[in-house]
């Protein structure tokens, strides 16, 4: 389960250049403190979710086993695809909802991931060029990959941690449940319209055309329109 302090990639992205930024309320905020607070909130959410949703596992189907076996066979060193498959198989058998596959040097995820209904997906520190999006997921940890874009996220997505990628765009629309995005050290040129739920969107260290001030202004405008 992806709980506890942020990973090293997240921590470095949160405070890039020692910058602060303006939240949707218009107040100056320290990204590092907000990052810690957000992670603690996420951890509490994971625990509450698991407590209310006891495991209900099942056996893998023959088709699922075949697909995962093929995924392993198609892998190349130094990918640790067999370990990734073990974690996915255990998650399905045990009925868990938090899939953690960090630092396995994966270049892609199994297609089976798109059928999973998760609370948390943590694939930080891999070599992913694209992201297989689960059918359901509230918390995404995808920092330290090679993503050039963030795909359309499930409607129930609440938090995204995507620092230290060459991401140029977030594909929209963004879900109405989204409230926290950590996307420092990317190459963002554009993002879709922000829903009123978004209260934190950090792009410190961005090398693309999009500026933090533009994002902050959008948040203030969106929140103001929602109140009006």
Q: Please count the structural domains in the chain.
A: 1
Instruction: Tell whether 62 is covered by a domain.
Output: no
Tokens of 219: 């948040």
Count of CB atoms situated within 10 Å of the CB of 193:
11
Count of CB atoms situated within 10 Å of the CB of 36:
15
Written as tens digits, the pLDDT of the chain (228 aa) is 443 334 444 444 443 333 444 444 455 455 555 555 555 555 455 544 444 454 589 999 999 999 999 999 999 999 999 999 999 999 999 999 999 999 999 999 999 999 999 999 999 999 999 999 999 999 999 999 999 999 999 999 999 999 999 999 999 999 999 999 999 999 999 999 999 999 999 999 999 999 999 999 999 987 655 544
Residue-wise burial string across 123-148, b where 16 or more C-beta atoms lie within 10 A, e elsewhere: bbbbebeebbbbeebbbbbbbbbebe
Distances (CA, A) of 179 to 45, 66, 84, 222: 14, 38, 29, 12
Please name the residues in contact with 70: beta carbons below 8 A apart, sequence gap of 6 or more: none
Instruction: Tell whether 1 is covered by a domain.
Output: no
C-alpha triplet 146, 6, 171: angle, nearest 5°: 40
Determine the structural domain holding residue 146 and report its residue range.
8-55+97-227
Whether the full predicted model's pTM is greater than 0.85, yes or no, is: no
Instruction: Tell whether 81 is covered by a domain.
Output: no
Instruction: Tell whether 104 is covered by a domain.
Output: yes
Q: What is the CATH number of the domain that holds 209?
A: 3.80.10.10
Structural contact between residues 106 and 79, judged by C-beta atoms closer than 8 angstroms: yes
Instruction: Tell whether 218 is covered by a domain.
Output: yes
Instruction: Tell whether 187 is covered by a domain.
Output: yes
């Amino acid at each position: 389960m992806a709980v506890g302090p942020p990973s090293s990639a997240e921590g470095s992205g949160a405070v890039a250049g020692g910058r602060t930024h303006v939240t949707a309320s218009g107040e100056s905020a320290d990204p590092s403190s907000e990052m810690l607070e957000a992670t603690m909130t996420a951890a509490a959410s994971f625990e509450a979710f698991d407590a209310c949703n006891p495991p209900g596992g099942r056996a893998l189907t023959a088709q699922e086993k075949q697909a995962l076996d093929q995924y392993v066979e198609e892998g190349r060193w130094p990918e640790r695809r067999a370990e990734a498959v073990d974690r996915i198989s255990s998650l399905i058998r045990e009925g868990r909802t938090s899939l953690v596959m960090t630092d396995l040097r994966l270049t892609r995820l199994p297609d089976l991931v798109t059928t999973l209904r998760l609370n948390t997906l943590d694939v930080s520190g891999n070599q992913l060029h694209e992201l297989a999006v689960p059918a359901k997921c509230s918390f995404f940890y995808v920092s330290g990959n090679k993503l050039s874009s963030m795909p359309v996220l499930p409607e129930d997505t609440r938090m995204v941690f995507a620092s230290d990628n060459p991401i140029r765009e977030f594909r929209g629309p963004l879900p109405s449940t989204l409230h926290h995005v950590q996307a420092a050290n990317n190459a963002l040129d554009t993002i879709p319209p922000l829903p009123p739920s978004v209260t934190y969107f950090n792009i410190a260290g961005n090398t693309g055309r999009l500026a933090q001030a533009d994002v902050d202004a959008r948040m203030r405008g969106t929140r103001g329109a929602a109140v009006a």
